[in-house]
């Protein structure tokens, strides 16, 4: 009998627990629900006591194999604001230094029965592996150049707070698309909610055949409601790769300066910024910059993601009422 090899390679049927591994896992309804939950949490955070008892008794493990400021701190704070226990493991200083494999580290942490494992890893598909070998809900906090779904969600949240809509917006994503998991996640997320995306950058940094509008012409940012600036990822570029002749030349041709922007045109950046390279400091610090708003969004959106995974539904009035009583 001839076996269907293609079928063998398909991932297993819908896992019994829900994970957030890729924007591709989400529907428009999921996004609306998560952003709604995030907004409810944002309101809750304006109160004097900012801690909610919602996830009391749950354990959230943060497993970070790459450096991070925003993502790791906001996941940790999000879990703490929801009263979950947190455990943060960084590859540096852990048994990863001794050569422990991702699978064994995941099995070890899985033995503590965590409810959620948040993982960042330089290899594409690492969160899928953790999801296969543990019983925890897994959240992808960035895997190689592949996906960073909570970044896309927090950017949608930021856009909706700013424009009070998502449908019909036009966002120009500028810079190093090739190495950017943020750009890949955004392109998918924007398509789901009806945002037009235009990718702009030097030819070698625009991946071939990415299903999106792409151009090398920086003038294309003019028509956009928002210019989303990507970081030049020097750590992912080998010396001598010649993606661009020099950073100086890149800045001259694709750097986002006040002169290249329309008055009132909004600017976003996932951070960390290379000030003076992809983004002019005057732009980063201007009143049209949404960069700090993105960081604030990160906290409430990650609270919403943890809440959604562990309760499997929209944040209810009752849950919040219970929170107030506590």
Site for other proteins, rule CB under 8 A:
5-6, 9-11, 124-125, 128, 144-147, 181, 184, 207-211, 238, 241
Q: Reduced to 3 DSSP states, what percent helix, strand and coil does the chain have, rounded to the nearest 5?
A: 45, 15, 40
Q: Is 65 in contact with 122 (CB distance < 8 Å)? A: yes
CB 309 within 8 A of CB 118: no
Report the residue number, 99 or 264, with the smaller CB distance to other proteins: 99
Residue 171: how many CA atoms within 13 Å on its side-chain side?
29
Query: Whose Cβ is closer to other proteins: residue 146's or residue 160's?
Result: 146
Q: Work out how close the CB of 172 gets to other proteins at its nearest, in angstroms, rounded to a whole number.
A: 18
Closest approach of Cβ 98 to other proteins, in Å?
22
Q: Kindly state the greatest CA–CA separation across the chain.
A: 68
Q: How far is the CB of 46 from other proteins (least distance, A)?
A: 37
Separation of alpha carbons 60 and 78, rounded Å: 10
Crossing angle of helices 181-193/28-44, nearest 10°?
Answer: 100
- Smaller CB distance to other proteins: residue 199 or 283? 199
Looking at beta carbons only, is 53 or 125 nearer to other proteins?
Answer: 125
From the CB of 27, what's the least distance to other proteins, in Å? Answer: 18
CB 4, min distance to other proteins, A: 10
* CB nearer other proteins, residue 107 or residue 210: 210
Calpha distance 126→142 (Å, rounded): 9
């Amino acid at each position: 009998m001839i076996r269907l090899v293609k079928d063998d390679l398909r991932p297993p049927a819908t896992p019994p627990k829900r994970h957030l591994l890729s924007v591709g896992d989400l529907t428009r309804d999921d996004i609306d629900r998560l952003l709604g939950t995030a907004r409810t949490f944002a309101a809750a955070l304006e109160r004097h006591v900012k801690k909610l008892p919602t996830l009391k008794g749950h354990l959230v493990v943060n497993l970070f194999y790459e450096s991070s400021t925003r993502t790791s701190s906001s996941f940790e704070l999000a879990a703490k604001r929801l009263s979950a226990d947190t455990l943060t493991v960084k590859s540096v200083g852990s048994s990863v230094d001794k050569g422990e494999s991702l699978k064994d580290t995941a099995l070890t942490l899985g033995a503590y029965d965590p409810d959620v494992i948040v993982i960042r890893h330089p290899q594409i598909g690492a969160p899928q592996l953790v999801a296969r070998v543990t019983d925890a809900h897994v959240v992808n906090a960035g895997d190689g150049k592949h996906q960073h779904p909570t970044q896309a969600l927090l950017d949608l949240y930021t856009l909706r707070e700013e424009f009070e809509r998502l449908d019909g917006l036009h966002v120009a994503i500028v810079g190093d698309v090739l190495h950017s998991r943020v750009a890949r996640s955004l392109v998918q997320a924007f398509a789901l909610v009806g945002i037009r995306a235009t990718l702009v950058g030097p030819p070698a940094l625009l991946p071939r055949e990415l299903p999106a509008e792409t151009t090398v012409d920086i003038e294309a940012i003019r028509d956009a409601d928002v210019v989303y600036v990507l970081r030049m990822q020097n750590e992912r570029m080998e010396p001598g790769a010649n993606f661009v002749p020099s950073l100086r030349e890149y800045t001259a041709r694709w750097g986002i300066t006040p002169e290249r922007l329309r008055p009132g045109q909004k600017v976003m950046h996932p951070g960390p910024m290379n000030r003076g390279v992809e983004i002019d400091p005057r732009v980063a610090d201007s009143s049209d910059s949404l960069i700090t708003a993105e960081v604030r969004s990160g906290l409430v959106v990650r609270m919403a993601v943890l809440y959604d995974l562990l309760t499997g539904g929209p944040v209810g009035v009752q849950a919040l009422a219970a929170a107030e009583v506590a």
